[in-house]
Amino acid sequence: MRYVSFVEHLQLEFSGNLMPQAMVLGDVDNDQDNELVAGNVNGQLMVFKGADTTPWRMASGLGMTSCAAVGDVCNTGKNVIMTLSAEGWCHVFSVSPNEKQEAAVAQAKGGPEEMTPVYQQLLAANGQAIVIADIDKDGKNEIVIGYTDRVVRAYSWVESTSATTGQDVLSGKFVLLQTWELVGQVGSIVVTTGVDGQTELLASQPGCTYTTLLMKDTGKGEGGDKEKDEEEEEEEERQQASGETVIFHPLVSSRARNPDVSTEIIGNLATDDAGDCPGRGLYAMCTLDGTLMLGQGEEIVWSLQVDHHLFSLTKLDVTMDGKDEIVACGWDGQTYIMDHLRNMVRFQFDQPVNAFCAGLYAVTPGKNVPCLVYATFHNNITLHFNTTLPCLLPTTLTDVLADKERVTQLLQKLNLQGEGEVYIKS
């Protein structure tokens, strides 16, 4: 396994400690450029934009922020920032593109522009994982929250008919849609596409296992009228008759080194496979004791063990080939990047890590680039950008030059075509 280095980085000013799920990348002001959102345990929320190392926007008094997300929570066609505190308070922030100039003026005067939530509501306490997605196929997004008491709750936004929605306030509320009670502690939640092409809601469980969370009304929404084969219809009828809404997938639990170790999961891994979606249904999991696994449906594609405590798992197209690589990070900063064929490289961040995320970030306007983001215990966030690699497999100079058109043309002029490899080596 080879090591790689990423040199370009920003050192962002950030104070306080973060929960692992309280840092996220997303387009918060709907200008097609991604920003970084981070909330600390002291109730402060900071938004970083572009190459500026100081916060662009800021909010305070939010409680102990346990998780954050960016998405179209209220189904208005615009992204908002949503934070959830350990006390159960949900805060929603809306940032408009026309506020950029005002925020820049505020920064020039000595501080970031203060954000005020457009909506807040008290939900259940002790949430630790959140996802925004359409889970019931009705064309509208819901929020799904995993809690420390092994419960998962889904909420939908219901617009109020008695008031109007403006930029400074949202009229409506989050209504409980469904509750699931799980056997083990929830690590992370993901909405993915299964092998059959249907949307699935998955929650990771201890010991490198996961559960599928089903909606009570499986026929709801646009996908409800889709034709199903006889086996699928019988399975749905059985689940509806028994009232079963949680399906446990043991997978490698019998081989797990520690069946109680916490687990993270990601889904919807992009592939470039042609045909009838042969790569559909891929998901990956990692555990705190160093297990990494790629699965597809009920099958394990591959599984391996590493010597580091992996607490965060995400995906990123590092090779820029249209396929997502799997990125796992340990508490000591050791970062593993691997593809679907188990080719792997390592990047060593030089400090212990408090929180980690990966995705696209716009260092310069109009250009989102791959990045790795590390929150440390020393009041700063390090954002490594342009984290791209030509490939994950080791390559030689001969292989690289052979793919260069200019080199090929020069060899032809020297009448060395066919023998170029020998001359390149010499």
Q: Compute the average pLDDT of residues 355-370.
A: 97
> What percentage of the chain has pLDDT greater than the value 90?
67
Q: Compute the average pLDDT of residues 346-354.
A: 96
Say if residues 410 and 423 touch (Cβ distance below 8 Å). no
Looking at residue 168, what DSSP letter applies? S
In CATH terms, 2-394 corresponds, of 3.90.950.10, 2.130.10.10, 3.40.50.20, 3.40.50.410, to: 2.130.10.10
What's the rounded Cα separation, in Å, for the pair 131 and 109?
Answer: 36
Q: How many other CB atoms are there within 10 angstroms of residue 196's CB atom?
A: 13
Which of 158-162, 271-275, 362-366 is modeled with the greatest confidence?
A: 362-366
Q: 93 pLDDT exceeds 70? A: yes
Q: 408 pLDDT exceeds 50? A: yes
**For the ranges 209-218, 230-239, 388-397, which has the lowest average pLDDT?**
230-239
Q: Write down the pLDDT at residue 424.
A: 52
Backbone dihedral region for residue 88 (phi beyond 0: left; psi -120 to 50: alpha; all else: beta): left
Q: 413 pLDDT exceeds 60? A: yes
Decide which of 404 and 41 is more confident: 41
Q: Write down the pLDDT at residue 275.
A: 43
pLDDT in tens, 288-341: 999 999 999 888 999 999 999 999 999 999 999 999 999 999 999 999 999 999
pLDDT in tens, 111-158: 788 999 999 999 999 999 999 999 998 999 999 999 999 999 999 999
Looking at residue 400, what DSSP letter applies? H
Q: Write down the pLDDT at residue 107.
A: 55
Please identify which residue in the block is written with the tokens 């440390």: 376
Q: 227 pLDDT exceeds 50? A: no
Which of 210-224, 254-268, 293-307 is modeled with the greatest confidence?
A: 293-307
Please identify which residue in the block is written with the tokens 């690289």: 400
Q: In terms of residues, how long is the chain?
A: 426
Question: Quick one: which of 199, 157, 214, 154 has its CA closest to 179?
Answer: 154
Structural domain boundaries of the chain? 2-394, 397-426
Q: What is the DSSP string of 32-80?
A: S--EEEEEETTS-EEEE-TT-SS-SEEE----SEEEEEEE-TTSSSS-E
Q: Name 35's Cβ contacts closer than 8 Å, sequence gap at least 6.
A: 25, 26, 27, 28, 29, 47, 48, 49, 56, 361, 362
Say if residues 19 and 356 touch (Cβ distance below 8 Å). no
Q: Compute the average pLDDT of residues 370-377.
A: 97
Q: Write down the pLDDT at residue 412.
A: 78
Classify 271 as helix, strand or coil. Answer: coil
The dihedrals phi and psi of 152, each to the nearest 5 degrees, come to -120, 130
pLDDT band at 24 (very low <50, low <70, confident <90, very high): very high
Q: Write down the pLDDT at residue 422.
A: 52
pLDDT band at 106 (very low <50, low <70, confident <90, very high): low
The dihedrals phi and psi of 391, each to the nearest 5 degrees, come to -170, 165
Decide which of 20 and 398 is more confident: 20
Q: Write down the pLDDT at residue 219.
A: 46
Q: What is the DSSP string of 283-294?
A: EEEEETTSEEEE
